[in-house]
Amino acid sequence: MEERTLADYWFVLYTRKKAIYLIIIIAILFAVYFSYTLEKVYEATTVFFIPHGFDIFSFFSGEANEDIIKGPLFPIPQQNIHAAFVGILRSRTVAQKVRDKFPQKSLKSLLKKDVDFIVSSEYLLKVYVRDKDPQLAADVANAYPISFNEILQQFSANPILKRKNNLEKQINEIEPKLAESNKGLERFREANKTVSLREEISQLIEDRARVQSKIIDARAEIVSMESYPDIVTWKNRLIEYQKEKKRMDGRRSKITKIISKEDEIAREVDRYKEMLKKLHIQLEEIKAQEERETQNVVVVDRAGPPKRPAFPVLWINVIISGFCGLIGGVFFAFFMDYVDKIAKKKRFEAIETSEKI
C-alpha cells in the first residue's frame, strides 16, 4: 500500500472542505437552536466571612464596657478553619434548614448539583446557587449565611444549656443548705442569747480589770503590813479577789467559745450567700446570652437576581460546537476518502478480472 505524505492529507481535507464547512455550520446552528430552546438556569452568588473575633459580649462582667467598643472585623486567615466551615455549609443540616425556608428546592439538589462553595484567596466564603428562577436562586444563596449563623448559634447553645442546667442544679442544692444554716444560726442565738453575751463580755473585761487592780493593791498592802491580824485580813481579801478573777476568766472563756461558734456558723451562712449570689449572677448571664441573637457571619455581598443565565451560554456553546463540528468534519473527510479508495480498489479488481476472462 502506498504511504501517504502530509500533503496528501491536506489534499483530502481540501477536496472535502465544503462538507467540513457544512458540518461545522450545522453543529453551530444546532448549538444556537438549543441555546435558545433549552430552559435557562440562573446562578446567584453571595459572599460572606466569619470574623476573626466572634460575637462575644458579657452583660454582667466588669469588661462589658470594653466589649461594647466597636472594632474592625476581618476574616480568619487560616485555610484549615475555612475547610471546616465549608464542610458545615455542605452538611445535610444546613441544607435542611435552607429547604425549610424554600420547600420548592429539593434536598438532593441542594446537596448535589445546584449549590457550590468555594473559599477565595482573600478567605471569603462564596456560595453559588443555580435555579431556573433567578429570584429563587438569589433568595436561596442569601439563606445560606443565615442558616450557617443559626447552626453556629446551635453549637454555642448546647454548652450554654448544659451550663444553665448545672447552675440551676447547684442553686437548688445550695438554697436548702443556706436556709438550714440560717435556721441553725437563729436557734443558736436564741439558745445562747448571744446579743446579751457580747454586752456581758465587754462588762466582764471592765470588771476583770478592776479586780486585777484590787489584787495588785492587796498584794501591796500585805507587803507593807506589819501586824498579823491585818495581814490575814488582806490575804483573805486577796483570795476572794483571785476567786472572783478566776470566775470571770471562766465565764469569759465560755462566752468566747459561744461567740466563736456563732461566728463560725455566721461565716458558713455568708459563704453560702456569696456562692448563691455568684451562681445567680452566672445564671442571669447565661439566660441573657441564651436570649441574645449572636451574629457570627458578616455578609459582604448579598445575592441579587441575576439578569443573564449561567446556562446555556451562547458563545461558549458556539465555540464548543464549532470545534466539535471541525473534528467531525475532518473525520468525515478521511472516512469518505477511505470509502472512495475501497470503491476504486474494488472497481480496479473487477476490471482486471474481466480482462483476464
Residue 194 domain flag: yes
Cis, peptide link before residue 176, omega less than 30° from 0: no
245-273 tens-digit pLDDT: 888 888 888 888 888 888 898 899 999 99
Q: Which domain holds residue 267?
A: 165-291
* Residue 288, pLDDT above cutoff 90: no
Q: Which helix (H) or strand (E) covers residue 128, if one does? A: strand 125-131
Average pLDDT over residues 120-149: 93
Residue 287 domain flag: yes
Residue 293: Cβ within 10 Å count: 8
Average pLDDT over residues 158-186: 87
Strands (E) located in the chain: 42-49, 115-119, 125-131, 298-301
Share of the chain above pLDDT 70, in %: 89
Across the chain, mean pLDDT equals 83
- How many domains does one find in the chain? 2
Residue 234 domain flag: yes
Structural domain ending residue among the three candidates 240, 256, 291: 291
Residue 85 · residue 125 · CB < 8 Å: yes
* Residue 69, pLDDT above cutoff 60: no
**Same domain flag for 204 and 281:** yes
Residue 127 domain flag: no
CATH number of the domain that residue 271 is part of = 1.10.287
Q: Strand pairing partners for 128?
A: 45, 116
**Same domain flag for 265 and 190:** yes
Residue 306 · residue 136 · CB < 8 Å: no
The pLDDT assigned to 72 comes to 59
**Same domain flag for 352 and 269:** no
pTM of the entire structure? Answer: 0.57
DSSP string, 212-240: HHHHHHHHHHHHH--SHHHHHHHHHHHHH
Closest to 253 in 3D by CA, of 241, 263, 245: 245
Residue 218 domain flag: yes
**Same domain flag for 256 and 336:** no
**Range of weakest confidence among 79-83, 105-109, 293-297, 334-338:** 293-297
Average pLDDT over residues 179-195: 84
Residue 133 domain flag: no
**Same domain flag for 328 and 237:** no
- Please tell me what DSSP assigns to residue 113: T
**Same domain flag for 332 and 258:** no
Q: Binning pLDDT at 50, 70 and 90, where does residue 57 land?
A: low
Q: Which helix (H) or strand (E) covers residue 115, if one does? A: strand 115-119
Residue 193 domain flag: yes
Residue 51 domain flag: no
**Same domain flag for 213 and 319:** no
Share of the chain above pLDDT 90, in %: 31
Closest to 22 in 3D by CA, of 343, 347, 329: 329
**Same domain flag for 235 and 205:** yes
24-47 tens-digit pLDDT: 999 999 988 887 878 889 999 999
The pLDDT assigned to 65 comes to 43
**Same domain flag for 286 and 332:** no
Residue 108: Cβ within 10 Å count: 11
Q: Binning pLDDT at 50, 70 and 90, where does residue 64 land?
A: very low
Structural domain ending residue among the three candidates 291, 322, 349: 291
**Range of weakest confidence among 24-28, 169-173, 203-207, 220-224:** 220-224
